[in-house]
């Protein structure tokens, strides 16, 4: 019984990379279901989220620098959001970015940090919170720099 529990504990389910990337594109469209976006905005959010996650995924596989994949993912999202607005001027980059960053937001880590602090594990909760805030900051700075660079061009 203990051997089976240990086997389950150490069994990691990893999905194929193409499925992760397609899923990231689908998750990118979810926030705008509430805001009732246009069809073109959904398509642009799907493509931008997919390409942003692809940039994140490829960087994470090759880089050992902490928080670089999040920065590169955010940078790619910013670039593709601006390029998407060139296709249709009625679409705002903030709408596209809002959806596209969702696959990269560390929502589970933030939830676990709050749960740990409520449970009394304050130090580990603070560490998880700080780590999540650094991830969010890396993402935001990547998006911001990309948008600023694209506006200069």
Rounded Cα gap, residues 91 and 39, in angstroms: 11
**CA 120 from centroid of its chain's CA atoms:** 29
Q: State if pTM tops 0.75.
A: yes
At 52, the pLDDT band (50, 70, 90 cuts) reads very high
Straight-line distance from the first to the last Cα atom of the chain, in angstroms, rounded to the nearest whole number: 63
CB 99 within 8 A of CB 66: no
At 117, the pLDDT band (50, 70, 90 cuts) reads very high
For residue 145, give both structure tokens.
Answer: 């720099």
Cα–Cα nearest to 46, from 99, 107, 105: 99
Provide the pLDDT for residue 101: 94
pLDDT higher than threshold 90 for residue 39: no
At 40, the pLDDT band (50, 70, 90 cuts) reads confident
User: Which letter, b or e, does each residue of 36-52 get, where b requires 16 or more Cβ atoms within 10 Å of its Cβ?
Assistant: ebeeebebbbbbbbbbb
The whole-chain average pLDDT of the chain stands at 91
Domain range list for the chain:
17-152
């Amino acid at each position: 019984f203990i051997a089976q529990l240990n086997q389950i504990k150490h069994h990691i389910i990893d999905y194929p990379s193409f499925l992760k990337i397609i899923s990231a594109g689908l998750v990118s469209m979810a926030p705008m279901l509430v805001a009732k976006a246009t069809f073109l905005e959904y398509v642009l959010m799907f493509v931008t989220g997919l390409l942003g996650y692809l940039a994140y995924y490829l960087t994470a596989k090759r880089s050992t620098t902490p928080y670089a994949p999040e920065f590169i993912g955010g940078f790619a999202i910013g670039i593709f959001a601006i390029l998407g607005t060139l296709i249709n001027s009625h679409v705002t980059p903030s709408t596209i970015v809002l959806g596209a960053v969702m696959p990269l937001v560390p929502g589970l880590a933030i939830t676990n940090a709050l749960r740990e602090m409520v449970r009394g594990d304050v130090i580990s909760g603070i560490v998880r919170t700080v780590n999540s805030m650094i991830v969010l900051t890396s993402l935001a700075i990547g998006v911001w720099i990309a948008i600023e660079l694209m506006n200069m061009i």
